[in-house]
Every structure is written in structure tokens, then in C-alpha cells.
Structure 1
Amino acid sequence: MKLYQYILVLLLTPLLFSCSPGKETSSTTTLPDTAKTITDDSLLTLVEYRTFQYFWDGAEPTSGAVRERIHTDNVYPENDKNIVTSGGTGFGVMAILVGIERNFITRQQGLERLNKIVSFLEKADRFHGVWPHWWNGETGKVKPFSPNDDGGDLVETSFLAQGLLCVRQYFKDGNEEEKNLASRIDKLWKEIEFDWHTQGGKNVLYWHWSPNHAWKMNFAVEGYNECLIMYVLAAASPTHGVPAEVYHQGWARNGGIKNNPSHQQYGMHLDLKHNGAEQFGGPLFWSHYSFLGLDPRRLKDKYADYWQHNKNHTLINRQYCLENPKNYKGYGENSWGLTASYSVNFYAAHSPTEDHGVISPTAAISSIPYTPEQSMEVIRHLYKDLGDKVLGEYGFYDAFSEHYNWYSNKYLAIDQGPEVVMIENYRTGLLWNLFMSAPEVQSGLDKLGFTYK
């Protein structure tokens, strides 16, 4: 869609939705025919634009980094309005690249914001090159995620590094200022001590290390969950890499990650055992976070065909919602998708094995590469039928439940980010192409025995 076309859509949008920040909304919206007949292409651009604003207008102003959450009622737990997130910032820098390519912002505007974010990352608390889960965006000081989690978080750092490598690849052949940004990112990437997180050479990666509590968290990361990208980057690091055995013995549990060949759910097979959710698969973000940059389309190793695995994971999640064994109101072909999000009781990792009657828009929207027709049905329903119950300034709100007449007016970075990135990957492959163009990524995948071409 041309720039003038989406501007026209944006000019019309305030007339279509009168969002009401400051309260949970349950009003009914009647849309004019122009809203009901918007093309799929224009609707995807509108969703991308609105959601991109979370990372642009909604960014923490001092750091430019991405807020953990935005509540339109301006009520925050523990006064954390200015708390920024490392993983969400990784998703956010990818969203900025989408913004440049979609002409939401200019290339120079994007470059300036990314320079600001990288300047923050260079000065903010790090631990053996590894960033924490949260910082105070105004000071760069770590905000503990939990009492013993006040140091480096290798999983969230990997989500951030995934995004930064995309930015490096995007600007590496640009003008002098762009090349300088790429060089600064390269330095940050090479300073991440993945090998430190083997606790001295064990064949597994540990999630956390703290300068105050050392390895007290003692969380060895084994698959399958959202953390594949961490092992790929650990193998890819040219300065602090880990051997292939760390992947095969740790993440893949000496082959224990493989599901029973006879596994079937709704006639579909999952190659991999999902931790604690082997039958239906875990929350859908497990098929999103690692694959914002890591291209699953032709990705295979001796454990899985990742495209087919992620597609089946999505379809199983959808079919569960269609079967709707708990008879929740609102579930159906145009309203499905269970993943971690806000919930009627604050927060939950929604999945078929933890179903609370809550639909999280990011689940189906971010699955659009795997289920394009089915995901578009959801997007159209949210836009056309639910209107301002679910759509606000920064895109679709985090979650809702028609069963409980509960409509959140809150946003989370880790749910908004995958929507922008995966819609763009579906449309153009932008972030997949950038990330996979990094030579270290290719070397790391080769080391681990992946095929991907």
C-alpha cells in the first residue's frame, strides 16, 4: 500500500474507534462500511502502524528503550512506569526497522532513535556482557526481576541480540553514521559471554547469573520452550562461543527433546516435547520469540522440521479453541489464540493446559506466517466486530475475555513486538532475511547441524 493510502486509513481511524483510556471498556462499536471493507493489505499496514507506535511514541524517553508495559489507565504496579525490558527492546529495534521500511518514519529518524538506544545499552548495567531482564530507563540500573534475579539474564539478552544483529546487518553498508552504529552493535554482541553461562564448562546454558547471588537461581535451560535462539547465538558467538555439545546434551537433552513419533493431536504431530505440555504444546509465544529473526521456513536439524513444527503447534492451539472443551463464550474460528499475557487474574501463560477463557490477540496475529488465512480471520474480527473494546493507541490490547466480559486496556512489550515483526516477516521476510544474512549465524547453525537453505 502506498504511503498516502495508509495515511488516509489513519486519518479515518479516529472516526472509527473512539478509544477510552483510563478505564476498562465494554462499549459496542458500529463501524461504517468503509471499515468493514478495508483490504487485507491495508488492514495489516494499519495494525503494524498502530503497534509500531508502542515502540516509537511509547518508548521510555530518557533511554529510548522499550517500556515493559504501558497501561492506558496510567496505573502501574510498584511505580514501574519507566522500567524498560531487554527482550522487549530487542523486539522494539526490529519494529523500528519495519517502521523505516514501511515509511512510518524516515531512515534518519530510525537511525537517531537506534543510536540513542545503543548509547543506553553501552552504559546500562551488564554482567559479563549480559544484560538484565529489566532496568530503570532513567538510570540504566538493574531492577531485579525477582529477589535472586538481579544480574544477567541470558535468555532476554539473546532476544535483544537477535534484534541488534538485524540492525547491524541493515546499516552495515550505509553511510558513515550508519556504519558506526553497526560497529558499536558488533562490539556489544561480541562482549556477551555466553560461555560464562555454562558454569565453568558444563554442557548446558544457565539462564541467570547475579553478582550478589551467583548461580543461586540455577536454572539450566533445556528444551523445548522459547529459548532456541539463545543456543543458536551461543554457538554463533565469535568471541564467547560454546561447543555443539552444549546444544545437543543441554538443550536437546541427549535426544530427549524429540517427541514420541506416534504423537498426534487433532491429527497433527509435534516433533519436539514441549516442557510440561507435550500433548498440545505450550503457549504460542514459543513459536514466535526465537523465530523473529531465525527463519523457520527451511530450518531443520536432527530433532525437528521447525516450519512444520511451528505450524502444527499453531493449528493445535487453534483447534483446541474451536473444540472449546470448557465452553467459554467467544471462542471460535475468528477468535482463538492462547499465549502468555495479562489475564482476568493479572497474568497467565495461557495454553490448552492453562485455559482461563482469555484470548490474547498476539497469539494469532504473530502466527500469521504459519496460518495466514486463519490469522486474518482473527484480525478482521478484532477490528470489525470488537472495535474499541480491543483496539487502542498502540494496537490491539493485550488480552480479553468475552466469557467474563473483561477487556484489558493494557499493553506488554513482549506481546506487541512479535505482532509487528511477524506480520512483516509474513509480508516481506525483512527480519528473517537480515538475521540470516549474518555470517556468524550461518556458522552457528552449521556448527549445530542445522540445514536452512
Structure 2
Amino acid sequence: MKQIISIICLICLLAFGGQAQVKKTAAKPDLRIRQNLSDSALLDLVQQQTFRYFWDFAHPVSGMAREGSNESAVFNGEVVTTGGTGFGIMAIVVATERGWITRDAAVNHLTRMVDFLRKADAYHGIFPHWLNGTTGKTVPFSRKDDGADIVETSFLFEGLLTARQYFNHSNAQEEELRNKINWMWREAEWDWHTRDGRNVLYWHWSPNNGWSMNHEVRGWNECLMTYILAASSPTYPIQPAVYRQGWANSNYFRNDRTFFDIKLPLGFDYGGPLFFSQYSFLGLDPRGLKDRYADYWEQNRNHTLINREYCIRNPKGFKGYSADCWGLTASDTYNGYDAHSPTNDHGTITPTAALSAFPYTPEYSMQALKHFYYQLGPKIWSEYGFTDAFNESQQWYAKTHLAIDQGPIIVMIENYRSGLLWNLFMSCPEIQQGLKKLDFTSPHLK
């Protein structure tokens, strides 16, 4: 868990801040809780309202996703997030497919975003964690984390490649968008992050601090996408040995133990926070996805079931935990920001955890969704969907949102409903070659 905490706990001092809200870009919708909605109508409502975060609240210059709706010394409305923007791009694809925005509006927005990114700071083609949404300059994530972040960049390209596959019409605007995405994709030097040819990827590189963060990206966690994209690069690929000796070689990669009589093939005991089974799998279709280490459908479903069962058993006796109210993952909390899990539980439930698990546990996720909306809606339902988290033992309910939590709700509900993002991302010829190169099998591979 130290690998994850070492990155995300930095936000503890930054993300919570004051509760004043950044100025919004559109009038608030009707927030009354609508009773007796059909399951389909409730999913429509949640997806569409959550999408407003990436459309109405997008940065007005860059079009990128703001890090959070919290206004503080750092999150002053200018800070945009690389990874969260990747999730937002996938949300724009969903919105286009479902007719919430026009195809032309989506293409214009994405073209503006890509034009901004092509001029923004990047380091060997790899973007920083945060950018200033007006100037394109790096906003340091920490004192030494002021350069390339290969993991955040992988989530950005997860979205960009999905959009490239979706916007496939033969008109000048969509051809231009695809070309610009391809130029950035070909410019990204994934192999640079092997630090002179070592068989592992390194998370950070800085022109000011070099490799001094010294953070190896090893599994099991949310970073599988980083290795898949690095292996799939048409210009700067890594070799399979980097995946096998780097990603799949740590003292917490394999597990193969059972928790609540549920087998966990990979990762920390009890699975860790649920974003491990979600971020990389916004695009990667886990259905039938296997390699020599795991069946990724089994991995992700069982991880989710363990997390839910822990909340039902509620060994620490926190208020509100039940079969209706479950889901531990990284989020804002009453005293900052934390990566919640069964081994790091302080009573905070994060709606994105259960809602982004819809493909794995649809009945249980719907059960949680109805509780969040009908029972807790007056406290956590907002103009951008559900607020980030709540802790009923502390009588605390967030007023804020985070891009990396809002995006997966839209995308994973859509993957449950139609498989749209999975089918698009897995159709990328480079991704298919990269997966084959790493000896993955999948029904998508030709």
C-alpha cells in the first residue's frame, strides 16, 4: 500500500481546503429527488448529471477537467488534471452516443482540448499530473513532482485513443482530431521511463530533479494501463521483460488467498481500494482478459465482492455500512484525503466505488445506487451527480467533487449498459498488438 499512499496522500494537504465553490459555468439543475424511477431512468439521470462535471464545469480555456470543485490555494479553478481529463474524454464519448451533446459540439470541445495539450508542458511527450488550464504550464504536484507523470499520462491516452476510435467519420473535423491525437500518441516516449533501459517503469521524471522521486511502478494496483500503453506504443515501446520483471515482480503482486471465502488472485490482502479494479478497466475490457498471472474478470469481480462483504460485516461498527451502503476507495474524507480500503477504514463511503463497479456486481451496485439517491440524496446529490464521499459516523457529507471519482461513474455504468468504451478502446490496433506482445488473451484480439 505504500506505493499508492506515497502518491495520493500528498493530496491530503492540498485537496480538502476551504469549502467555497469555484464559479460554475451553467445554472444549477433541478435537484429534487425524483421518486419511483425505473432502473434505466435512474442510470440515465446519474450518468447525465455526473457528466455536467466534465462539460459545464470544464476549464473555459483548455476544456480539460478541473482537478476538483473545491476552491483552495491550489484548486483555484485553474488546476486541471491529466488523468481526470482522460476519464472526462471517455465521458464525452458517452454523452455523444447518448445524445446529450451533439457530435459537432463534442468534436469542437475535444479539438480545443487537444490543441491546448499540444502546446502545454510535456517532457519527452509525457504530461505532468497537473497543468494550469489557461497557460498550459506545469503545476507541481509536490516539490519534486514537477515534471512527467507516466501514470496520469496513461489515463489521458486511455481517453484519447478511445475518442480517436469513436470519432471515425471521414469529414475534415474528425480527421483533424484523429491526426492530432495520433501525433501526441507517437511523440510520447514511454521507454524513457525505464530510466536508461531498466526492466521497470518509473512514475516520475523532472527536468529539475531528474529521477530523484525514484518511484518504481510495480503491481498490483491501478497502473496496468500504463504498462499496456507502453507496450503498445508505435514509436517508443517497452519490451515484454519490463512488464514481467517490473510490473509483475513485487512482494504484493500475487495473493491467491481467500477473504470471506472469496479468492483474490492478485494484490494486497482484501484487495486495496476499489479504484485498482476500475481506472485501467475503463478501457481495458476484463471480460475474458487473461495472461499468465490472472483472469482479470475474476480479479476485479472478486476484489469488489470482498470490499462489499467487508462493509456488510462492518467489523469496526461504523454508522451506515450495510448491503445497501458499501464501497471503499480513495476520496476526500472528513479530515483530508485518503485511500480507503478494508485495511484502511475510517468510516468513509465513496459513491464512485460501488457505482464504478456496475459491470462486476450490477445487482449490488444498483442496490447501493438506490440507497445513495433515494435515502441519502438530500445530503449528497448535487448538480454534478453525487458528491465525493460521506462519513455518517462523523456526520460529514462532502460538498465537493473530484474528476478522478466522477469520471469512472459515467464510464463504468456505460460499460455495464452497452460495453461502449470497452469495445472502442479494445478496437485500437496498437492496443491489440501490445496485448499480444505481453501474451494476453481476449475475445477482442483478432
What TM-score, normalized by structure 2, do the two folds share? 0.91
Which of residues 27, 30, 41 is equivalent to 1:14? 30
Unaligned runs of 5+ in 2: 1-28
Within the alignment, does 1:264 sit opposite 2:258 as a pair? yes
Kept after mapping to 1: 8 A contact 2:31/2:382: no
Kept after mapping to 2: 8 A contact 1:128/1:192: yes
Distance 1:254 1:68, change over 3 A: closer
- How far residue 436 of structure 1 moved from its aligned partner, in angstroms, is 0.3
Which of residues 298, 317, 325 is equivalent to 1:308? 298
For residues 31 and 299 of structure 2, the distance between their equivalents in structure 1, rounded to whole angstroms, comes to 41
Within the alignment, does 1:392 sit opposite 2:382 as a pair? yes
- Provide, for residues 393-446 of structure 1, a one-character-per-residue CA deviation record: whole Å limited to 9, x for no partner: 000000001111101100000000000000011101111001000000000000
Kept after mapping to 2: 8 A contact 1:255/1:303: no
What one-letter code is carried by the residue in structure 1 that aligns with 2:396?
W
Kept after mapping to 2: 8 A contact 1:300/1:450: yes
For residues 211 and 386 of structure 1, the distance between their equivalents in structure 2, rounded to whole angstroms, comes to 47
- Provide, for residues 138-176 of structure 1, a one-character-per-residue CA deviation record: whole Å limited to 9, x for no partner: 100000000000000000000000100001111234322
Within the alignment, does 1:174 sit opposite 2:190 as a pair? no
Q: How many residues align?
A: 417
For residues 149 and 256 of structure 1, the distance between their equivalents in structure 2, rounded to whole angstroms, comes to 25
For residues 122 and 327 of structure 1, the distance between their equivalents in structure 2, rounded to whole angstroms, comes to 50
What one-letter code is carried by the residue in structure 2 that aligns with 1:259?
N
| Partner in structure 1 of residue 144 of structure 2 | 148
- How far residue 254 of structure 1 moved from its aligned partner, in angstroms, is 7.8
SS of the residue 2:213 aligns to: coil
Q: How does 1:126-165 map to 2 (within 5 A)?
A: 126-165=122-161
Within the alignment, does 1:239 sit opposite 2:229 as a pair? no
Within the alignment, does 1:57 sit opposite 2:56 as a pair? yes
What one-letter code is carried by the residue in structure 2 that aligns with 1:141?
K
What one-letter code is carried by the residue in structure 2 that aligns with 1:269?
K
- How far residue 258 of structure 1 moved from its aligned partner, in angstroms, is 2.3
SS of the residue 1:135 aligns to: strand
Q: Which segment is superposed worse, 395-404 or 251-260? A: 251-260
| Partner in structure 1 of residue 14 of structure 2 | none
SS of the residue 1:449 aligns to: coil
For residues 108 and 143 of structure 1, the distance between their equivalents in structure 2, rounded to whole angstroms, comes to 31
For residues 60 and 442 of structure 1, the distance between their equivalents in structure 2, rounded to whole angstroms, comes to 33
- How far residue 79 of structure 1 moved from its aligned partner, in angstroms, is 5.1
Distance 1:15 1:149, change over 3 A: closer
| Partner in structure 2 of residue 201 of structure 1 | 197
For residues 365 and 79 of structure 1, the distance between their equivalents in structure 2, rounded to whole angstroms, comes to 26
For residues 79 and 270 of structure 1, the distance between their equivalents in structure 2, rounded to whole angstroms, comes to 37
Which of residues 111, 116, 126 is equivalent to 2:107? 111
- Provide, for residues 46-89 of structure 1, a one-character-per-residue CA deviation record: whole Å limited to 9, x for no partner: 00001000000010101100000013xxx324353210000001
Within the alignment, does 1:226 sit opposite 2:222 as a pair? yes
| Partner in structure 2 of residue 364 of structure 1 | 354
Kept after mapping to 1: 8 A contact 2:88/2:407: yes
- How far residue 388 of structure 1 moved from its aligned partner, in angstroms, is 2.2
Q: Which runs of 4+ in 1 moved over 6 A?
A: none
| Partner in structure 1 of residue 3 of structure 2 | none
Kept after mapping to 2: 8 A contact 1:82/1:136: yes
For residues 173 and 445 of structure 1, the distance between their equivalents in structure 2, rounded to whole angstroms, comes to 26
What one-letter code is carried by the residue in structure 2 that aligns with 1:237?
S
- How far residue 279 of structure 1 moved from its aligned partner, in angstroms, is 1.9
| Partner in structure 2 of residue 10 of structure 1 | none
| Partner in structure 1 of residue 393 of structure 2 | 403
SS of the residue 2:93 aligns to: helix
What one-letter code is carried by the residue in structure 2 that aligns with 1:270?
L
For residues 36 and 398 of structure 1, the distance between their equivalents in structure 2, rounded to whole angstroms, comes to 23
For residues 302 and 169 of structure 2, the distance between their equivalents in structure 1, rounded to whole angstroms, comes to 38
Kept after mapping to 2: 8 A contact 1:391/1:397: yes
SS of the residue 2:401 aligns to: strand
Which of residues 71, 90, 95 is equivalent to 1:94? 90
What one-letter code is carried by the residue in structure 1 that aligns with 2:328?
L
Kept after mapping to 1: 8 A contact 2:381/2:387: yes
Kept after mapping to 2: 8 A contact 1:341/1:399: yes
| Partner in structure 1 of residue 213 of structure 2 | 217
SS of the residue 1:271 aligns to: strand
Kept after mapping to 1: 8 A contact 2:323/2:368: yes
| Partner in structure 1 of residue 370 of structure 2 | 380
- How far residue 256 of structure 1 moved from its aligned partner, in angstroms, is 7.1
Which of residues 398, 419, 429 is equivalent to 2:409? 419
Distance 1:337 1:256, change over 3 A: closer
| Partner in structure 2 of residue 84 of structure 1 | 80
Within the alignment, does 1:428 sit opposite 2:418 as a pair? yes
Q: Which segment is superposed worse, 128-137 or 168-177? A: 168-177
| Partner in structure 2 of residue 47 of structure 1 | 46
What one-letter code is carried by the residue in structure 2 that aligns with 1:64?
G
Unaligned runs of 5+ in 1: 1-12, 18-34
What one-letter code is carried by the residue in structure 1 that aligns with 2:152?
E
SS of the residue 2:287 aligns to: coil
